[in-house]
Amino acid sequence: MQLTRQQSILKKALTNPLALAGFVIIVSVFILAMLAPWIAPYDPNDINVKAILLAPSAQHWMGTDGLGRDVLSRMLHGGQISLLVGLVAVGISTAIGILLGALAGFYRGWVDTLIMRLVDVMLSIPSFFLILAVIAFLTPSIINIMIVIGLTSWMGVTRLVRAEFLSLTEREFVTASRTLGAKDARLIFTHLLPNSLTPIIVSAVLGVAGAVLMESGLSFLGLGVQAPQASWGNILTDGKEYIQFAWWLSLFPGLAILITVLGYNLLGEGLRDALDPRSSSNR
Amino acid sequence: MIENQLHHIKIIIAASLIALLTACHDSNIGGETKEKLNENYANESGGTLISAMTGEPSGLISMIAGESASSAISSNIFNSLLKYNKNLDLEGDLVEGWQISDDQKTITFTLKPNLKWADNQPITSADVLFTWQAVTDEKTASPYASDFQLVKKAETPDPRTFKVTYDQAYAPALDSWAGLQILPKHLLAGQDLHTTAFARNPVGSHYYKLDGWAHGEYLKLSRNPNSVLGQAKIDKLITRIIPDNSAQFLELMADNIDTMGLDPIKYSRIIPARPELQQKLGLYKELGNSYTYMGFNLKHKPFDDVRVRQAINYAIDKQEIIDGVYLGLGINIASPYKPGTRWSNPNLSPYPYNPAKAHELLKQAGFTDTNGDGILERDGKPFAFEIVTNQNKEREKSAVLIQRRLKEVGIDVKIRAIEWASFISRFIKTGDFDVVVLGWGLGLDPDQYNIWHSSQQAPGQFNFIGYHNPKVDKLLEAGRLELNPDKRMKIYHEFAQVLLEDSPIVYLSAGYGLTAIHKRVKGIDNPAPPAGIGHNSQDWYIPTPLRRNEMAAN
């Protein structure tokens, strides 16, 4: 029963042309990034001081940067970083969000109050500045970036899961299960959680888009991935210096970020439309 | 209702059309002006010069601030006793003359007559005495204090005479008085120089006075009618604070600022590729009195081993950095002095790029690749360190090139670039770093006691790499006390030689100062004399037809 529901949702989502487009975009970006070591024409860190800031050409499809490194190769390798950070950060935030949201929604009372006030406190701090502040105390590295983004963006998921749990715990099948003597853990993990999974997936997909942007922003500010490792954000920073002259350094990473974020958003929106009975009945 | 809205929309469209048209009109004027730029104009006073700086001064008392942003502004507001002329000879600034006693230990300065502060109070020798007391006061904790600590006695026999007596004849004495900006006693006596409001609202004696300071936006100076050296030509100097270099460049292109410092790529690639910029901007290049280096924390292992330092020096290709990062606008140096000056030892040559030699030295120091991962180990620990630098594109790029070269000899390098203020407070002042890439800007006197003497290692002092070599200490002490220029030169040549062998830092490049100035500014010496492009900025002028709309500039 469960499987067929998921399958039908997926089917519905993928018949939505926008969601399909998003799906195709993300899959292609993933394939390109994963194949980077094989398809990148050059070593991304191969410096050539004799070929600084060359415009795109047959040799360098996306030109070269301020140290003569091939931008296409850096874009492909940088893509791995951007995508990895997006996925892991959202994994962390979703895990925290599910845990706290489940506790709040299931136990209610003071547990709920405590967790939801914590959410309010976290939400009242502008998250980008919170992340900047935390990174300032840590060494900037991919791992820290992933952890910090994850630890500062779980609040939406918490609210979502809590709301789902609040409505689900009133449903007959939960009451029935409880009456039959099911333990809390069993109720949460076998009944409540699987039934709230779909909105969580939608929020996670949309969250990846946010995390990709966040990583790019941090790397752009020099607080993310450190040299010489490439990420779309730090290629963009290098390009900023020469934007009137070396347009290729800003355009390509900018486009990559745009397309990836667009892809995640389209897929997320498509999934939401597919899952939300009201919006589908409108169509 | 709808009609009303339509009406509004029409107004908006009309307004934007007008704006568009005026914008076009403006650029037409700009086009005409470009042809006018190279005509000859009469030298006249007035006008506003707008420049930009990346960092805001923390205050305008430069002996406290000790930063370039502060002295860039305060040098327009305060005078010193002496100054360097365009050929770098000393001449009087506040003083009309000075006499050195026969035993070379006493200098008597005579102030010019009728000097006045901008607030009409007279400038007297009491102000000079006050300034000397302030800079040497321990509470002031000025990084320049050691320049004046050898003064045994300072006296003011009369309001126009200031007499200093040194323990021993002190060679950099006159240079140190040329660097000390004299402060008004009547406004500062009894105040804490670190907290006084004067630092944001100074009263000086030089060509300009501070008119306004909008935090994070601009500092506005206007001519000081009491200027002790006569009147400057340009009426107002506005310095805008634009932290981002590329934003500064956009403002320069849009004609909203008249001058800025350039990086090599803007200087030799971007501007030459754009005729409209070449038409309106004058480009100036001068070999600065500064260099970029990679410095080891000598208190950290394994940098206490000279073989390791030398090995790293051999492993770095300096020419590659000069070509790749500075686009050839740099010089490979072997002593910490401006190349071509008498203090720079011509017999020294930089460490050549020689990875084989580096390997050999590292092996002698006990580093071998035992596990075959390409990284050397000693006592089971891989040779890895972090290069810290501030967010300066040239330094970051140099670090990336160094990282690659060191990887080739088996050293794993990480790079960290952070913002200037936290770079200083977290790494330099605490000494919590392995290796830094930084630059030194130098004075004209060869004395580098502040930087290399083992006594100068306290937090906030300049020997933060922890260099300690008794031989260098002795040479630095001797150099300060040697008045014969030829003997002095020999001392500093020997100092540079010891330093090179010891390799506490790797000289990366002595770079050129690159500046763009709008061609509306006339009277600039080109090529720049030894004192630099700005030496006669008081005589620069902007002819009336070339001035920008002064209302807009205000």
Q: What is the mean pLDDT of residues B199-217?
A: 93
Contacts A228 to B, Cβ<8 Å: 400, 403-404, 415
Torsion sign (Cα): B447, B450, B452, B454:
positive
Q: Is B2 on the interface with A (CB under 8 A)?
A: no
Contacts A52 to B, Cβ<8 Å: 265, 324, 327
* B403 CA: distance to closest CA in chain A (Å): 9
Highest mean pLDDT of the ranges A49-53, B43-47, B325-329, B491-495: B491-495
B425 pLDDT tier (thresholds 50, 70, 90): confident
Does the structure show a pLDDT above 90 at B306?
Answer: yes
Cβ–Cβ below 8 Å for A244 and B418? no
Residue of A nearest to B249 (CA): A241
pLDDT at B226: 92
Residue B202: is the preceding peptide bond cis (ω within 30°)?
no
Least confident piece of the model among A3-17, A28-42, A119-133, B21-35: B21-35
CA-to-CA separations, B245 to A246, B32, B52, B252, B449, in angstroms, rounded: 16, 29, 9, 10, 33
- Which candidate, B474, B31, B19, places its Cα nearest to that of B280? B31
Average pLDDT of chain B is: 88
DSSP state, B299? T
Residue of A nearest to B400 (CA): A228
Partners of A263 in beta bridges: none
Residue B485: is the preceding peptide bond cis (ω within 30°)?
no
> Under a CB-based contact definition with an 8 Å cutoff, are residues B318 and B332 in contact?
yes
Instruction: Name all domains of chain B by residue range, CATH numbers in brackets.
Output: 17-57+207-284+520-553 (3.40.190.10), 82-188 (3.90.76.10), 290-511 (3.10.105.10)
Q: Is B306 on the interface with A (CB under 8 A)?
A: no
* A140 CA: distance to closest CA in chain B (Å): 8
DSSP state, B352? P
Q: In whole angstroms, give the CA distance from residue A269 to residue A267.
A: 6
Dihedrals phi, psi of B417, to nearest 5 degrees:
-115, 120
CB–CB contacts below 8 A, A to B: 65
Please write the tens of the pLDDT for every residue from B241-253: 998 888 899 999 9
| DSSP-derived pairing of the beta strands B412-418 and B384-390 | parallel
Nearest to B324 among A49, A240, A243 (CB): A49
SS3 letters across chain A? CHHHHHHHHHHHHHHCHHHHHHHHHHHHHHHHHHCHHHHCCCCCCCCCCCCCCCCCCCCCCCCECCCCCEHHHHHHHHHHHHHHHHHHHHHHHHHHHHHHHHHHHHHCHHHHHHHHHHHHHHHHCCHHHHHHHHHHHCCCCHHHHHHHHHHCCCHHHHHHHHHHHHHHCCCHHHHHHHHCCCCHHHHHHHHHHHHHHHHHHHHHHHHHHHHHHHHHHHHHCCCCCCCCCCCHHHHHHHHHHCCCCCCHHHHHHHHHHHHHHHHHHHHHHHHHHHHCHHHHHHC
Please write the tens of the pLDDT for every residue from B462-501: 899 999 999 999 999 999 988 888 999 999 999 999 999 9
B6 pLDDT tier (thresholds 50, 70, 90): very low
Q: Which residues of B, range 364-393, sit inside 8 Å of A by Cβ?
A: 391, 393
Contacts A45 to B, Cβ<8 Å: 404
Contacts A139 to B, Cβ<8 Å: 416
Residue of B nearest to A137 (CA): B426
Q: Is B415 on the interface with A (CB under 8 A)?
A: yes
B25 pLDDT tier (thresholds 50, 70, 90): very low
Cβ–Cβ below 8 Å for A244 and B265? no
Q: In whole angstroms, give the CA distance from residue B252 to residue B518.
A: 8
> Under a CB-based contact definition with an 8 Å cutoff, are residues B22 and B552 in contact?
no
Cβ–Cβ below 8 Å for A241 and B263? yes
* B53 CA: distance to closest CA in chain A (Å): 16
Average pLDDT of chain A is: 87
Residue type, B420: W
Q: Is B323 on the interface with A (CB under 8 A)?
A: yes
Q: Is B404 on the interface with A (CB under 8 A)?
A: yes
pLDDT at A197: 85
Count of residues making up chain A: 283
Please write the tens of the pLDDT for every residue from B106-152: 999 999 999 999 999 999 999 999 999 999 888 887 878 888 888 99
Which residue has tokens 């240079």?
B175
Cβ–Cβ below 8 Å for A53 and B391? no
- Burial of residue B29 (CB within 10 Å: 0-12, 13-18, 19+) is exposed
Cβ–Cβ below 8 Å for B270 and A242? yes
* A121 CA: distance to closest CA in chain B (Å): 28
Residue type, B75: S
| DSSP-derived pairing of the beta strands B208-214 and B161-166 | unpaired
Which residue has tokens 């090139």?
B401
Q: In whole angstroms, give the CA distance from residue B231 to residue B54.
A: 28
pLDDT at B10: 44
Q: Is B317 on the interface with A (CB under 8 A)?
A: no
pLDDT at A4: 59
Nearest to A49 among B323, B399, B422 (CB): B323
Cβ–Cβ below 8 Å for B246 and A228? no
Q: In whole angstroms, give the CA distance from residue A115 to residue A39.
A: 47
> Under a CB-based contact definition with an 8 Å cutoff, are residues B91 and B97 in contact?
no
* A122 CA: distance to closest CA in chain B (Å): 26
pLDDT at A1: 46
For B211, the enclosing helix (H) or strand (E) is strand B208-214
Nearest to A53 among B269, B414, B419 (CB): B269
What tokens does B489 get? Answer: 């030169």
Does the structure show a pLDDT above 50 at B11?
Answer: no
Q: In whole angstroms, give the CA distance from residue B505 to residue B297.
A: 9
Q: Is B250 on the interface with A (CB under 8 A)?
A: yes
ipTM over 0.85: no
- Burial of residue B468 (CB within 10 Å: 0-12, 13-18, 19+) is middle
pLDDT at B406: 95
CA dihedral B17, B23, B24, B29 (to 10 degrees): 150
Q: Is B434 on the interface with A (CB under 8 A)?
A: no
- Please give the share of chain B, as a percent, with pLDDT higher than 70: 92
pLDDT at B526: 81
pLDDT at B202: 94
Cβ–Cβ below 8 Å for B324 and A140? no
Residue B527: is the preceding peptide bond cis (ω within 30°)?
yes
Torsion sign (Cα): B475, B477, B479, B481:
negative
Dihedrals phi, psi of B139, to nearest 5 degrees:
-65, -30
3-state secondary structure of B488: helix
Please write the tens of the pLDDT for every residue from A213-272: 988 888 887 777 777 788 898 888 888 878 878 899 999 999 999 999 999 999 988 888
Q: In whole angstroms, give the CA distance from residue B409 to residue B312.
A: 9
> Under a CB-based contact definition with an 8 Å cutoff, are residues B487 and B464 in contact?
no
> Under a CB-based contact definition with an 8 Å cutoff, are residues A13 and A19 in contact?
yes
Beta strands per DSSP E along B361-485? 377-378, 381-382, 384-390, 412-418, 435-441
SS3 letters across B303-350? CCCHHHHHHHHHHCCHHHHHHHCCCCCEECCCCCCCCCCCCCCCCCCC
Q: Is B152 on the interface with A (CB under 8 A)?
A: no
Contacts B323 to A, Cβ<8 Å: 49-50
Please write the tens of the pLDDT for every residue from A211-227: 989 888 888 877 777 77
- Listed in sequence order, the residues at least 6 apart from B147 whose beta carbon sits closer than 8 Å to its beta carbon are B172, B176, B179, B180, B450
> Under a CB-based contact definition with an 8 Å cutoff, are residues A218 and A233 in contact?
yes
Rg (CA), chain A: 22
B205 pLDDT tier (thresholds 50, 70, 90): very high
Cβ–Cβ below 8 Å for A241 and B393? yes
Please write the tens of the pLDDT for every residue from B340-364: 888 999 999 999 999 999 999 999 9
* B392 CA: distance to closest CA in chain A (Å): 11
* A38 CA: distance to closest CA in chain B (Å): 22
Nearest to A222 among B403, B414, B417 (CB): B417
Cβ–Cβ below 8 Å for B415 and A227? yes
Please write the tens of the pLDDT for every residue from B278-299: 999 999 998 888 899 999 999 9
Nearest to A52 among B324, B415, B419 (CB): B324
Q: What is the mean pLDDT of residues B424-444?
A: 87
Q: Is B414 on the interface with A (CB under 8 A)?
A: yes
Does the structure show a pLDDT above 70 at A84?
Answer: yes
- Burial of residue B380 (CB within 10 Å: 0-12, 13-18, 19+) is exposed
